[in-house]
């Protein structure tokens, strides 16, 4: 179960009022135990927030590294495409072998060649 927002104030109020009502009995629970459960939930929430923050810092670094790696990769793909266009002027067979590449850049939606198609 997920408690509602602001449960800490609610639990504090319940424990305070319950403390003054000794006739109210709940199996395996007392106002003190309820307060203890609240403290444990708060400590755990803090540890979770710290872990989340640390993970986000690590992920941010990896995200930046991935963007740089993809940039370098895509720059290479664009360079290959430019070279294919250049060399195809004098060697039309090159254009035939890289037809898939021309399709990718013509529509922006083309797929890389499947095994046995295009390429070598």
**CA distance linking residue 88 with residue 82, whole number of Å:** 10
Q: ∠ CA(100), CA(117), CA(104), 5° rounding?
A: 15
Residue 30 lies in a domain: yes
Instruction: Spell out a b/e string for 49-71, using b for 16 or more CB atoms within 10 Å of the CB, else e.
Output: eeeeeeeeeeeeeeeeeeeeeee
**44 assigned to some structural domain:** yes
Tell me if 98 sits within 8 A of 84, measured CB to CB: yes
Whether 2 is covered by a domain: the verdict is no
pTM above 0.95, yes or no: no
Mark out the alpha helices in the chain (DSSP H runs).
7-19, 31-88, 92-97, 99-107
Q: Which token pair is 98? A: 């890289």
pLDDT of 3: 87
Residue 85 belongs to some domain of the structure: yes
pLDDT at 103: 84
**Confidence label for 120 from pLDDT (cuts 50, 70 and 90):** very low
Quick check: is 21 in a domain? Answer: yes
CA dist 15 and 9 (Å) reads: 10
Which residues have CB under 8 Å from 78's CB, separation 6+?
none
95 occurs within a structural domain:
no
Is residue 1 a part of any domain in this protein?
no
- Residues 104 and 110: beta-carbon distance below 8 Å: yes
pLDDT tens figures, 73-115: 999 999 999 999 999 999 999 999 999 998 888 875 655 666 5
Q: How far apart are CA 84 and CA 73, in angstroms?
A: 17
71 is in which domain, residue-wise?
Answer: 7-89
For the chain, how many structural domains are there in total? 1
* CA Rg value for the chain: 32
Domain assignment present for 33 = yes
């Amino acid at each position: 179960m997920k408690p509602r927002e602001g449960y800490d104030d609610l639990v504090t109020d319940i424990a305070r009022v319950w403390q003054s009502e000794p006739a109210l009995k709940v199996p395996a629970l007392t106002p003190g135990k309820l307060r203890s459960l609240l403290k444990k939930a708060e400590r755990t929430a803090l540890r979770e927030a710290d872990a989340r923050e640390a993970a986000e810092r690590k992920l941010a670094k990896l995200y930046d590294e991935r963007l740089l790696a993809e940039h370098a990769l895509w720059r290479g793909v664009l360079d290959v495409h430019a070279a294919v266009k250049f060399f195809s002027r004098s060697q039309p067979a090159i254009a035939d072998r890289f037809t898939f590449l021309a399709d990718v850049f013509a529509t922006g939606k083309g797929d890389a060649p499947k095994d046995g198609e295009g390429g070598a």
